[in-house]
Structure 1
Amino acid sequence: MAALLLRHAGRHCLRAHLSPQLCIRNVVPMGTTAKEEMERFWSKNTASNRPLSPHITIYSWSLPMMMSICHRGSGIALSAGVSLFGLSALLIPGNFESHLELLKALCLGPALIYTAKFALVSPLMYHTWNGLRHLMWDLGKGLKIPQLYQSGVVVLVLTVLSSLGLAAM
């Protein structure tokens, strides 16, 4: 079948090459030109007074939208953090114990240390809990609008609680 199709296409091309009059006979004039189509498109859009691209006036910020953006952001932040930590372990002289001793020598207050630990662990917890939420969606669970908001609130509460607990360790 493929050989017959190839042979037919080859004959058509050969005929077109040898006798251009055969190709002209099969040409059908277009109804409109590209310029006319473009003018018709833009006149219709300007007459409707719609904005050219969606923005805040069209889409209001919602919890699922913000959580999706934050999920991507936390994933990027975690990837960058792990990469920088690994790169710093290769480039900075000393070992882990010497760096811990340096931090202890700074005599930072417990509130600052707790805040720093919370800031480090919260993207990980958010990305973990929201990733589990996405896995539930892949199973077809919780896809109705009220369930999206409920699971979003659950993810935020679990993120704060687990981050507080891990920072306290």
Structure 2
Amino acid sequence: MFSQKVAQQSLRRLAVQQPNLMQSMVMRASPAAIALGNVQKRPVTSTSNTEDPTQILAKQRLNRPVAPHLSIYKPQIGWIGSSLHRISGVALSGTLYLWATAYLASPTLGWHLESASMVAAMGALPVAAKILLKATLALPFTYHCMNGLRHLTWDLGRALSNPAIIRSGWAVVGLSVTSAVALAFI
């Protein structure tokens, strides 16, 4: 550390006192080599390249290794849970936007999407279809809510060890399915 400071200070003094000498030295060797006296000389080589630069880049890309794909990784509850959290969020928000757009456009298009006709349509379904429909709608909602709480816990810096992530992942799955089934039977 001390020797580096001494070398830097001596190079700075040399640069201020004799800038022309310093420029010629810099062109030949690195500052560390100059300070230590280990100046090596190498001949400059250059090639006349007449190829198209885009073709050179394409050839270089062919030699690069291919990044591993998800198909070679062992599925883990952590990344599957995070992926499903994003998918359920997109599905819920997409459904909301689609329903809201259809609801606003329904008077113009002659559709009956008001509450009374929705209640009547739901009441006409068999009990098994009602339960299945409600569970299908409730599961993404409950999963997204439970996994959102899990992500908020991680944001607080808690439960970040591998065993805790696995436990919380399966707890989210269990709580989501249980609460979705409970909501379906209400």
TM range (shorter): 0.5 to 0.7
1:90 corresponds to 2:104: yes
Q: CA-to-partner distance for each residue in 1:103-129, whole Å, 9 max, x for gaps?
A: 43xx32101110100000110100000
1:123 aligns to what?
140
TM-score (normalizing by structure 2)? 0.62
Asked which structure has the greater RCO (Cα within 8 Å, sep 6+), the reply is 1
1:137 corresponds to 2:163: no
In the TM superposition, 1:1-150 aligns within 5 A as 42=63, 52-56=66-70, 58-93=72-107, 94=112, 95-104=114-123, 107-150=124-167
**Is there any run of 5+ residues in structure 1 with no aligned partner, and where?**
1-25, 46-50
Q: Name the CA distance, whole Å, in 1 between partners of 2:119 and 2:142.
A: 24
Quick one: structure 1 residues 168 and 98, their matched pair in 2 at CA, closer, same or farther if it must change by over 3 Å? Answer: same
Count of aligned positions: 132
Q: Which runs of 4+ in 1 moved over 4 A?
A: 26-35
Larger Rg: 2
Residue number among 151, 164, 167 corresponding to 2:181 in the alignment: 164
Q: Name the CA distance, whole Å, in 2 between partners of 1:110 and 1:125.
A: 22
Give the fraction of aligned pairs with identical amino acids, expressed as a percent. 35
What do you get for the CA RMSD once the two structures are aligned? 2.9
**Is there any run of 5+ residues in structure 2 with no aligned partner, and where?**
1-25, 29-42, 48-52
TM-score (normalizing by structure 1)? 0.68
